[in-house]
Structure 1
Amino acid sequence: MASLTSSLSFSALSQCSDRKVVVPSSRNLASNSDYFRIREGFLCHYVGFRASSSSSRMVVHCMSSTTETPTVAQTKLNFLKAYKRPIPSVYNTVLQELLVQHHLMKYKRRFRYDPVFALGFVTVYDQLMDGYPSNEDRDAIFQAYIKALNDDPEQYRIDSGKLEEWARAQNSSSLVEFSSKEGEVEGILKDISERASQGSFSYSRFFAVGLFRILELANATEPTILEKLCSALNINKKSVDRDLDVYRNLLSKLVQAKELLKEYVAREKKKREERTESKANEAITKCLGDYQYAGQ
């Protein structure tokens, strides 16, 4: 996401729609720096759960198989059980907060999974984990994260991939004219628009990021396109603008934190090399001394 990486930041909003939720981090954090903390939630709503059926055959649901709404603590515990290896604090702090907010989004009463939501989360996750030391571990963390929410990680990747492919084939005009066209993605967008007009759509920041990613892939850079797309989807553009600012702020802080981490790792590596060299010199000096003493 070239247009975002230059201003890489989910700093949290200070106010919440219904009430504030404070959740402690589930792992020990290595730093107290503001760069390594995102204390405020990026969505603070009281949540309920209701299983719902699809109103469109083209909308895929990833819903919990449990009959009772799990607690945030249960979701976090599920993640820790699924992925037991340590995660560097610069990633773990934000990842844990993201998991809490994802939990709150999913178990809102009106929430219904859709590919735009999936694309938004995948976009956020990939940005967050960019530069992670191991690609294999990054994928394993993704699997553990989604499964902790009782969802299907493969479905997230498949749906976001389909949406990305569709977006690349669009332009500024075709994006906002989805209601007059037929197709799988067009059907998904129509369903969202209909539910939003009826007040049965649960908007989230992942959805806002998903919309932005669609515009980015379609090269729809005109400022008015987002407004038109939001209007066609019956989504409040002010909410989208606000949440995209939150997203950029998060990415920006992550870049700074990762730079600090790189500097720390480089310093520690240099110290280890210096200590190793010093010990090697001491060993050589001792050996030479022993050799000279034996030859006397």
Structure 2
Amino acid sequence: MVIIQEQLCKQVVKPRIGCQACFILTWHFSCRVQRHDLFSHRNRWKPVQVPSVYRTKRRMECRSIENLKESSASNSLPTQNGTVRTVAETISDFLKHFRHPIPSIYRTIVQELLVTTHLARVAVGFQYDPVFALGYQMVTQVFFKSYPKVEEKEKLFDSMCKALLLDYERMKKDASVLEEWTRSRTEREILLAIEEGGDDPLANLLHSIAQNDGFVYSRLFGLGLVRMMELCGEEANSERCQKWASALHISSLKLEQDLDTYQQSLERLKQAEQLFAELEARQKKKLAEKLAEKAKRAQEEAMKAEQQMTEPNSSV
């Protein structure tokens, strides 16, 4: 896997940048970022030696390599000179649209979302659909629920879409329509719609995806399916992922992996937010104690000054 990956890196990635496919999950693959600032334009990527246990155990999870194999100069996101649009260009565009600082615990989420979505977008045969939009809406609503700068959230989501050459307003509308459609149906009805289609446009859409042998699966599409499971009143788990994947003729392994990654990432985010909340509470407590101590000293100094003023009068 490492040999294949190095060959792909040489073919696809610009010199001195390194592997643009796998720098998010540094312990899965053989490249990682060497940086001081996650969003610095001076980022440099270098290959590192990954323990053989991970290269063997996680071999099937290298979705980045699969996407790179499917990429070519004729795919859906070319640049002006006709070459494949790179991850670096997508992140650069995002920084142009969104110039506000991002809290540290959300930076990795933003960058991982940009990278994984970019890799899906540049794959040959990728097609946008409402399930993909619902997955994006799910990620932004769940992972950024406690984002401290509420007034900047919509701008952040829109900037990510612009960097990925997606229409944020259309995605919100499509996700909302699919959400309402799913809420009004049971899991059995949805699976039947996937298998048979019908007069319903969304049912026909899901049926066409199931019949499309060249359909390109993406993580946001998988999370859109997870959200649909929840909306129709069912728990998203391994067994249900296999059932939906079988109906859609997609890889159940990928869907289960994305569900597992989503759940683990959400748990880590909750722990990080709790830690930051505790640290903030401690800082506020220390600040309050300092202010109280300062007020106490000021009061004592004022009392001393008052005593000094009254002592000469009493002696007279």
TM tier, shorter chain? 0.7 to 0.9
- 1:225 positional shift: 4.8
Partner of residue 109, structure 2: 94
* CA distance in 1: counterparts of 2:157 and 2:299, whole angstroms: 48
Q: 1:44 aligns with which of 40, 58, 64?
A: 64
| Residue 214 (1) aligns with residue 225 (2) | no
* CA distance in 1: counterparts of 2:164 and 2:170, whole angstroms: 13
Q: 1:150 aligns with which of 146, 165, 177?
A: 165
Is the 1:43–1:105 Cα contact (8 Å) retained in structure 2? no
Q: CA RMSD in A?
A: 2.8
Residue type matched to 1:193 in 2? A
Residue type matched to 1:188 in 2? L
Is the 1:120–1:208 Cα contact (8 Å) retained in structure 2? yes
Is the 2:98–2:159 Cα contact (8 Å) retained in structure 1? yes
The residue matched to 1:150 in structure 2 has which SS?
A: coil
Partner of residue 117, structure 1: 132
* CA distance in 1: counterparts of 2:74 and 2:170, whole angstroms: 20
Question: Which of the pair has more CA radius of gyration?
Answer: 2
| Residue 190 (1) aligns with residue 207 (2) | yes
Indicate the structure with greater helix content: 2
| Residue 237 (1) aligns with residue 252 (2) | yes
* CA distance in 1: counterparts of 2:75 and 2:307, whole angstroms: 83
| Residue 279 (1) aligns with residue 290 (2) | no
Unaligned ranges ≥5, structure 2: 1-23, 42-57, 312-316
Identity %: 32
The residue matched to 1:202 in structure 2 has which SS?
A: coil
Residue type matched to 2:91 in 1? K
> Cα gap change, 1:21/1:72 in structure 2, threshold over 3 Å: closer, same or farther?
farther
* CA distance in 1: counterparts of 2:286 and 2:96, whole angstroms: 35
- 1:64 positional shift: 7.8
Is the 1:105–1:111 Cα contact (8 Å) retained in structure 2? yes
Deviations 1:3-60 (A, max 9, x none): xxxxxxxx949556xxx664562159xxxxxxxxxxx9984232446466xxxxxxxx
Tell which has more relative contact order, 1 or 2 (C-alpha 8 A, sep 6+): 1
TM-score, with length taken from structure 1: 0.77
Is the 2:94–2:163 Cα contact (8 Å) retained in structure 1? yes
Q: 1:160 aligns with which of 175, 200, 204?
A: 175
Deviations 1:55-114 (A, max 9, x none): xxxxxxxx7896654322222222222222222111122222222222222112222211
* CA distance in 1: counterparts of 2:306 and 2:40, whole angstroms: 52
* CA distance in 2: counterparts of 1:13 and 1:211, whole angstroms: 27
Q: 1:26 aligns with which of 20, 30, 39?
A: 39
Q: 1:129 aligns with which of 138, 144, 149?
A: 144
> Cα gap change, 1:110/1:275 in structure 2, threshold over 3 Å: closer, same or farther?
same
